[in-house]
Amino acid sequence: MLYTHAIIITVNPVREIILDGALLVHGNLIAAIGKTQTLKSEYPKEEETDLTGRIIIPGLITTHVHTAQSLIRGAADDLELVSWLCERVWVLQGNYTEEDSKAAVRLSIAEMLKTGTTCFLESMFADRYNFDNLCLAVQESGIRGCLGKIVMDIAKYADNPKWSMHPGLIETREMSLLGAMKMWKKWDHAANDRIRVWFAPRTPGGVSDDLYKEMSALSRTHSIPITMHCAEVKADRVFFASVGHTPMSYCEEVGLLGPQTVLVHMVHLDDTDIAKLAETNTHIAHCPTSNAKLASGICRVRDLQKAGVNVGLGTDGAPCNNSNDLMQEMKLAAIIHKAVSYDPTAVPAENVLEMATINGAKALGLKDSIGSLEVGKKADFVAVDVRSVGMQPWFSPVSAVVYSATGRDVDMVVVDGKIVVRGGKLLTMDEEEIIAEAEKRSKEVVVRAGLVEAVKGSWPIA
């Protein structure tokens, strides 16, 4: 298939942008890229898809998302993290059935694909949700997924016994770590290599030192990557201090740091933490909407990047973002650091698009196959429609994508060479069925959790 007459933002090593560009796909790979006239003359017999009025970008890569949480979108607004977790999110998720989780996963994946995300890192999938169903949804939908299964053996947050998990979410070493190994053996590299299985340990305080060390050893032996929430709120920093550490000195001691690790949020860091991240080539997932909405703070992205730390972008979960749209996340990531630094040049649009594409690919260990549009890489790309009142006029294609577009402007999505979204419509899954199932099951979960009144908000609903 030859995709023609588009503006192509390649994110290749020289960051080339091609006007009236064309992209040739053979199988699941990019076979050629260049000017439309040139490629049409070189490949005159190729079937053609005209993308006039669209900007093609590499498929977006979210380095932090909770696919099971979309079922409780909007059910935990205007709460700080610990109350958000202990009083709402854990209670709701602890009342999930396997079928609830399946509905949530399919809703999350449908939303991600329709808004331009072609690859995601699931960051903490619980045993009760049924990991097989997550993998089957990835297989069905055509998306690319790095799937983290939870690892834990302590059922509280940080060092406070009052901050306890809901009983329905508690797991043992055998359920979590050994279960993750079982799923890795079953699913890693499945679905034409679109599935990778990761370890997803709970935040420090929720995992014993011994279990961290055992998991880290397995990670090194089998090359299983690790993702973990870390230093998200002030309570995390207090926990690290209580055991005589900074966040990164603790993570280093239990074997968590290195190029196969993505640490999430990373708001409460000091200069020594940043230096250690750079030294160990550990990656960061920046989640500005979640951090702002939960009043957790703001990650020191500029300092991390100046130190040479690779920073990707994530949406986090629907209850703390209310969206799985990485297009919207790009805009906030580009704006929020300007506000707090009083520097309009901080974290420019080009930097943010890198975070959502090639930086994300690097964090997931996939930079040689996705994250930019280059010959020989996987054909994962998104066409953003700029033929609307909200997208006109534009002068810089990157500015148009980062500052003007949202996921609703996504016209076409291709993953692994296959069109999965065309004309804004999802082709691989039944949207109407997904929405109906999610609406039904979300109400049932809230009833079982006993939170029907709590989730309504403060204004009366007649």
CB atoms within 10 A of CB 75: 22
Q: Give, in degrees to the nearest 5, the angle at Cα 149 between 151 and 159.
A: 35
Continuous segment of H or E residues that includes residue 351 = helix 349-356
Cβ atoms < 10 Å from Cβ of 376: 9
In the block, tokens 């880290």 appear at: 216
pLDDT per position as a tens digit, 113-129: 999 999 999 999 999 99
Backbone angles phi, psi at 433, to 5 degrees: -65, -40
285: β partners: 264, 312
By C-alpha distance, which of 241, 237, 245, 284 is closest to 265? 284
Per-residue model confidence as pLDDT tens for the chain (462 residues): 999 999 999 999 999 999 999 999 999 999 999 999 999 999 999 999 999 999 999 999 999 999 999 999 999 999 888 888 889 999 999 999 999 999 999 999 999 999 999 999 999 999 999 999 999 999 999 999 999 999 999 987 766 666 778 888 999 999 999 999 999 999 999 999 999 999 999 999 999 999 999 999 999 999 999 999 999 999 999 999 999 999 999 999 999 999 999 999 999 999 999 999 999 999 999 999 999 999 999 999 999 999 999 999 999 999 999 999 999 999 999 999 999 999 999 999 999 999 999 999 999 999 999 999 999 999 999 999 999 999 999 999 999 999 999 999 999 999 999 999 999 999 999 999 999 999 999 999 999 999 999 999 899 988
CA distance 453 to 459: 11
Task: Determine contact, residues 419/62, Cβ cutoff 8 Å.
Answer: no
Where do the DSSP E strands lie in 206-323?
226-230, 261-265, 283-286, 311-313
pTM of the model: 0.97
pLDDT in tens, 91-112: 999 999 999 999 999 999 999 9
Degrees to nearest 5, angle at CA 268 with 172 and 348: 115
DSSP string covering 283-311: EEEE-HHHHHHTT-----HHHHHHTT--E
Task: List, for residues 184-239, the tens digit of each pLDDT value.
Answer: 999 999 999 999 999 999 999 999 999 999 999 999 999 999 999 999 999 999 99
C-alpha dihedral, 409 to 430 to 109 to 218, nearest 10°: -150
Amino acid at 50: D
Question: In the 8-state DSSP scheme, what is residue 166?
Answer: P
Nearest to 108 by CA among 321, 278, 366: 321
What's the pLDDT score for residue 168? 87
Q: How confident is the model at residue 81, as a pLDDT?
A: 80
